Structure formats: structure tokens, C-alpha cells
């Protein structure tokens, strides 16, 4: 596929970096759990002439003339999102997962209201009340975590905290939690204390769309997601909600926090939702899960501490404290070998968030290029070889050759 022919003429410097990045994406095993390869059709839509126009407002209620086709595109995106997740209402305008969450808070909270979210260090997201994020600055945030023995969410503890602090909203969903979240239980707790429930499925959306991870839609006032992680769409966000919240959500997104919607990205989201309804997508998600489980089992056999002993989704978390390697050093060595993961705090981590004691590994992108269980076994062996020899260049270079060979057998963007 041609990504740079026009750019080259105007700006060879940027074109060169795009070409180099393309090569990086082709020749490495991308195993950052939040990343994926968007299909060519998605890339084409995001690069289209739909970027040219303002369409502030919503279909049928725009502030600018000339939005006939934009209305159609946005209506299709909305209908597909509703159908895909079985939701009453969809707002397809948020430009990211963070903005989707910001809009939900704006729609139902006042500054200083109490929010209960999952602790960042236990796997939650910055936008779930972290003091570094607007969600923790504007609202009064409290946190729940995981059980120190099982690393699972302790729902009794969540209930206890909720009863004590009486939050106006409870946020569930995570960026680094490998197990099924019990959304029904969160709903019970939210009802007991009269709180709204927001489920942030940024990581799990693709698996939920495919029906292999329980959906929070029946239980939640609001559901937010990104569209570029397991959903495999463009870099963007989405809000689903119950009918009674639809007006407030729409006005929180526009004019609450955004101006003109990125209509080229909304078109790409429409395509993403169409693809997510296909049999092929379901098969892909099933393979994503199989691959993550195979990798987890193989790493456990090799002696690694895989948190919770496995996974119910596309990601696994490894605690490297027993191996005497920090998350940072592990991630750097693995990247040299062509296996790209991210360092990740483990619950009750004693290292700083910039060093960490763990790594997070995801299978969405490698599964998208066609890798299956056998290749996961190879990757587990290579991970082990690198982590046991993080200062041995010969071994790391040798693994890198093997990684490149494997990648050339499963090409992307040809
Ligand atoms: C990735 C993520 C987000 C934020 O998405 P951005 O598009 O990067 O803003 C929000 N919530 C969770 C749980 C995430 O994992």
C-alpha cells in the first residue's frame, strides 16, 4: 500500500519517518496490549477528504451548511455502534477514550463530586480519578484495588468503600486487568449506594463485540471505549448510554468538550463497526484469546509469575520481581530483540511508575498478522531467552533475526 507518495514531494523528512515506522510495524512483533493494525479501509477513510469540513452539531441539527453526506455517515456509525453493542444510544464523536470519559463525567457530575475508580497501580486508567488527570483534579476521587493474594478485584471491598464514601459515579474497566470484570456486581454496588455506573471497556471492546467477554451494556448507565485497541478501528473513542442519559451525553461531547467532530474518523469508525459484526472478526477475537492463553501457559511453564495465573482476554501481566529484572530493563531488552511490549506496574509495586516491576503483553496485533498457538510457543521461548540474557548482545541479535524471519512469513501492509 502507498502511504507516502504525495508526502514525499512536499516533506521528504516526514515521509521518511513514516516509511521507517511502516518498516518497524512490519518487522517487529507488536505486543503492546493497547495497539493493533487498522485495516487498509480504515486508513483510507482517516486519510480521506472528509477531513475538510466542519460539521459541528449532530445529524439533522448542524451549525454549518453542506453536511448532507456527513449526516448519513454519522447516522450509519451511530446505528452500527448501537447494534454492535446492543445499546440504547451511541455518541460517535469523542476523539479518544480519555475524551469519552471526560464527557461522561461532565454529563453527570459537578466539580467536587465523588468518583470511585480503579487504582492506576492496580490496573485502572489515568482518567479513572488519578490525581494527574482532570478526573482527579475536578472531582474528588477514591480508589479500589485488587486483593493482594489473588490479584482479583475484591468486590466486597469495593462495596465497603462505596458505602463509606457514597460516590456519585463508580467507574469499572481497566487497562491492565487480565480477568473478566463482574459488571453485574458493580451494578449491584452502584444501585446500593445510588451511584451512576460507568464501564470503560477501552481494552475489552473487541472481545465484547465478538461475544467472548461479558458485556457491561445491560448493567451500565454509561459505557465508554476506544476504537483502536482490540476493536481494530481508527484512533478514537465512543460513548454508549441508556436512553435517559442521551441528551446530556450529546451536549457534554459537543459543545461541552469538543468543537467540530473528526468526520473522517467517524467514517472510519462506521467501517470498524461493520467489520466487527462479521464472522471473520469473531474468529479473530477467539484467536486473540487463544493466543493470550497459550502464551500465559507457556510462560508459566517456563517459571514466570503470570498474574492471576492466566487471562480471560487479550493481555497478560508478568511480575518480574522474582527474576530480579525491572519492567523497564525487560521492555528495553525485548525491544532490541524485536518484541515490543510495555513496562507495567504490578499491583503493590515497589518500583516507580517509570521503572516498574512488570511487563504487559498483548496478542491483538500479532494475531492480526496471522500468528497462532505454535508461534506463541516460539515467542514464549524467545521472551525467556531475552529475559535471561538481557545484557548478551549475541543472543538478543540472534532472537531478533528469528523475529524478523517470522514477521516476513506473516506480512502486514504489503
Ligand atoms: C486506553 C484507555 C483509555 C484512553 O484512551 P485514549 O484514546 O488513549 O485517550 C481510557 N480508558 C482505558 C481503560 C484505557 O485502557
Residue-wise pLDDT for 55-93, tens only, equals 999 999 999 999 999 999 999 999 999 999 999 999 999
Residue 226 a catalytic site member: yes
**120 confidence band (pLDDT: 50, 70, 90):** very high
Q: State percent of the chain over pLDDT 70.
A: 100
Give yes or no: residues 164 and 96 share one domain.
yes
Ligand 1 centre to CA of 371 (Å) is 26
Domain containing 309 — which CATH number? 3.90.1150.10
Give yes or no: residues 249 and 340 share one domain.
no
Instruction: Tell me how crowded residue 370 is: count the other CB atoms within 10 A of its CB.
Output: 13
Q: How many CA atoms lie within 13 A of 368 on its CB side?
A: 25
Residue 159 a catalytic site member: no
The structure's pTM equals 0.97
Domain containing 221 — which CATH number? 3.40.640.10
Q: Does the CB atom of residue 34 touch ligand 1 within 6 A? A: yes
Ligand 1 centre to CA of 240 (Å) is 15
Cα separations (Å) of 242 from 34, 177, 218, 225, 226? 27, 26, 9, 15, 19
Q: Is the pLDDT of residue 1 over 80?
A: no
From the candidates 235, 321, 328, 372, which is the catalytic residue? 235
Burial 280-290, CB ≥16 within 10 A → b, else e: ebbebbebbbe
Cβ–Cβ under 8 Å, residues 119 and 145: yes
Task: Number of helices (H) and strands (E) in the chain: give both, helices first.
Answer: 16, 15
Q: Does the CB atom of residue 200 touch ligand 1 within 6 A? A: yes
d(CA 45, CA 48): 5
Give yes or no: residues 17 and 88 share one domain.
no
Q: Does the CB atom of residue 125 touch ligand 1 within 6 A? A: yes
Q: What is the pLDDT of residues 308-363, one digit of tens each?
A: 999 999 999 999 999 999 999 999 999 999 999 999 999 999 999 999 999 999 99
Q: Is the pLDDT of residue 282 over 80?
A: yes
> Rounded mean pLDDT of the chain?
97
Residue 229 a catalytic site member: yes
d(CA 407, CA 21): 15
In a domain, 245, yes or no: yes
Domain of 346? Answer: 7-30+279-409
Task: Name the one residue in this structure whose C-alpha cell is 485502572.
Answer: 124
Question: Among 244, 276, 308, which residue terminates a domain?
Answer: 276
Residue 293 a catalytic site member: no
d(CA 198, CA 211): 20
Q: Which three cell numbers stand for residue 169?
A: 459515579
Ligand 1 centre to CA of 299 (Å) is 27
Q: Is the pLDDT of residue 98 over 80?
A: yes
Assign 239 to helix, strand or coil: strand
Give yes or no: residues 14 and 103 share one domain.
no
Q: Does the CB atom of residue 175 touch ligand 1 within 6 A? A: yes
Give yes or no: residues 215 and 291 share one domain.
no
From the candidates 226, 230, 311, 356, which is the catalytic residue? 226
Amino acid at each position: 500500500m502507498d502511504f507516502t507518495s504525495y508526502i514525499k514531494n512536499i516533506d521528504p523528512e516526514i515521509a521518511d519517518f513514516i516509511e521507517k515506522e511502516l518498516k518497524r510495524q512490519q518487522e517487529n512483533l507488536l505486543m503492546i496490549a493497547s495497539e493493533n493494525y487498522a485495516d487498509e479501509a480504515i486508513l483510507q477513510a482517516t486519510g480521506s477528504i472528509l477531513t475538510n469540513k466542519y460539521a459541528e452539531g449532530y445529524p439533522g441539527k448542524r451549525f454549518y451548511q453542506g453536511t448532507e453526506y456527513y449526516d448519513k455517515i454519522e447516522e450509519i456509525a451511530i446505528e452500527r455502534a448501537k447494534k454492535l453493542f446492543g445499546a440504547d444510544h451511541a455518541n460517535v464523536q469523542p476523539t479518544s477514550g480519555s475524551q469519552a470519559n471526560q464527557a461522561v463525567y461532565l454529563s453527570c457530575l459537578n466539580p467536587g463530586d465523588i468518583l470511585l475508580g480503579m487504582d492506576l497501580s492496580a490496573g485502572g486508567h489515568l482518567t479513572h480519578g488519578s490525581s494527574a488527570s482532570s478526573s482527579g483534579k475536578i472531582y474528588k476521587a477514591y480508589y479500589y484495588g485488587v486483593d493482594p493474594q489473588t490479584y482479583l478485584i475484591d468486590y466486597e471491598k469495593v462495596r465497603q468503600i462505596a458505602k463509606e464514601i457514597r460516590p456519585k459515579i463508580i467507574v469499572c474497566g481497566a487497562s491492565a486487568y487480565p480477568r473478566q470484570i463482574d459488571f453485574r456486581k458493580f451494578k449491584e454496588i452502584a444501585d446500593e449506594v445510588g451511584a451512576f455506573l460507568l464501564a470503560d471497556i477501552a481494552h475489552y471492546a473487541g472481545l465484547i463485540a465478538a461475544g467472548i467477554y461479558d458485556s457491561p451494556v445491560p448493567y451500565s448507565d454509561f459505557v465508554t471505549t476506544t476504537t483502536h485497541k482490540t476493536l481494530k478501528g481508527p484512533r478514537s473513542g465512543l460513548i454508549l448510554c441508556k436512553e435517559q442519559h442521551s441528551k446530556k451525553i450529546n451536549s457534554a461531547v459537543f459543545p461541552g468538550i469538543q468543537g467540530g467532530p473528526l468526520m473522517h474518523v467517524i467514517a472510519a469508525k462506521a467501517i470498524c463497526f461493520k467489520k466487527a459484526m462479521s464472522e471473520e472478526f469473531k474468529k479473530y477475537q477467539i484467536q486473540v484469546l487463544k493466543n493470550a492463553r497459550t502464551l500465559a501457559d507457556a510462560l508459566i511453564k517456563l517459571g514466570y509469575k503470570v498474574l492471576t495465573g492466566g487471562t480471560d482476554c487479550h493481555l497478560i501481566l508478568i511480575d518480574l520481581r522474582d527474576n530480579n529484572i525491572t519492567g523497564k530493563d525487560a521492555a528495553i531488552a525485548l525491544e532490541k530483540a524485536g518484541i515490543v511490549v510495555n513496562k507495567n506496574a504490578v499491583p503493590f509495586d515497589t518500583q516507580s511508575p517509570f521503572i516498574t516491576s512488570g511487563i504487559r503483553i498483548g496478542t491483538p496485533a500479532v494475531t492480526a498478522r496471522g500468528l497462532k498457538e505454535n508461534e506463541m510457543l516460539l515467542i514464549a521461548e524467545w521472551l525467556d531467552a531475552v529475559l535471561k540474557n538481557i545484557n548478551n548482545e549475541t543472543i538478543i541479535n540472534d532472537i531478533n533475526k528469528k523475529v524478523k524471519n517470522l514477521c516476513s512469513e506473516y506480512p502486514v501492509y504489503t
